Amino acid sequence: MFRQSKVGPHEVWLEPETGFIRLVHVGLIEENHARELSAIFVNSTSGEPIFIIADARRATGVTSQARRAITNDGAGWGDTPFLMAVFGAPLPVRIVNNLIFKALPLIAPSSRATMVSVATEGDARAWLTEKKAALQALAGKL
């Protein structure tokens, strides 16, 4: 399990109290950043669901190559559920993000990723907490 890493200008760490991986985007997300972050996410759990809370308040964008890398790498995670809540982006960006996130099953049908873009950190935490509880309840029924 990792404690804290820096990937280019971006920071990532594990929140021990929630089990969420915290990601702070700074500037532009390039392909090499996306691939390195993807590797950190996958290696941070052993097949357990991955919960990411991403702060986009200081982000300036994601390159198309980085988006492609995220989609391709995420599709290769097998049965590992991947849930990410992005907060802090301006409203027009959140709208576009959510359209892209809803299209993800069409773009990468084998991906187990579920993502949402919301206004505040509180909204992001609430969404992830709800999804985590639902997955735990489902696991308890199996």
Report pLDDT digits (tens) over 64-115: 888 777 766 554 555 678 889 999 999 998 998 889 888 877 877 667 778 8
CA distances from 139 to 18, 36, 134 (A): 18, 30, 9
DSSP single-letter state for residue 111:
-
With a cut of 80, say whether residue 22 has pLDDT above it: yes
Q: Assign 3 a pLDDT band (cuts: 50, 70, 90).
A: low
DSSP string spanning 18-72? T-PEEEEEEEEE-HHHHHHHHHHHHHTSSSS-EEEEEEEEEEEEE-HHHHHHHHH
Q: Which CATH architecture has domain 4-141?
A: 2-Layer Sandwich (3.30)
Q: Assign 19 a pLDDT band (cuts: 50, 70, 90).
A: confident
Place of tokens 């097998």: 78
pLDDT reported for residue 110: 66
